[in-house]
Amino acid sequence: MQSYYWVKTFHIVFVVAWMATVFYLPRILVNLSETAGQPAVVERLQLMGMRLYRFGHSMFGLAFVLGLVLWLGYKVIPDFPTMVAPGGAGWLHAKLGLVVVLLAYFIWIGRLLKGVARGRALPSSRALRWINEIPLLAFIPIVWLVLAKPF
């Protein structure tokens, strides 16, 4: 049982770290769109953005692996509890669907960032500010689903 709590703790830590990148990468894009004509600042922001994007991939990967252990660990680890009761996994499927949406968003933001390095134009800073709010629309229901397990 102790191993379950350690796995769950690190899963949550890596999810939080990944979500930090999901929330902050669009902010870097806003700053990039507002600093046109300042090559030194643009270069620094691109470097920060790419490092953060790579960090986000690592955090997502670790959270994903530990999430699989939480989901299926009972099949290979003796006395490891499962968080999914037979026939009661609807909440998990809904959560995973929203996580896929967040992952697609994260990859899209990364492509925008890589596009800047290739000379592509970004949307306006106002549009990017709205784009920055999208992850919250998925993250709130994810947290609710995990806590309430409504179905």
**Could you tell me which residues are annotated as the binding site for heme?**
11, 95
| Alpha-carbon distances, residue 149 vs 3, 85, 88, 137 (angstroms) | 22, 11, 9, 18
Query: Which value, in Å, is the radius of gyration of the alpha carbons in the chain?
Result: 18
**Six token digits for residue 88:** 């009661």
Cα separation values, 116 from 5, 26, 28, 82, 123, Å:
42, 13, 11, 44, 11
Can you say which residues are annotated as belonging to the binding site? 11, 95
Closest CA to 46 of 151, 118, 144: 118
Euclidean distance between CA atoms 33 and 57, whole angstroms: 23
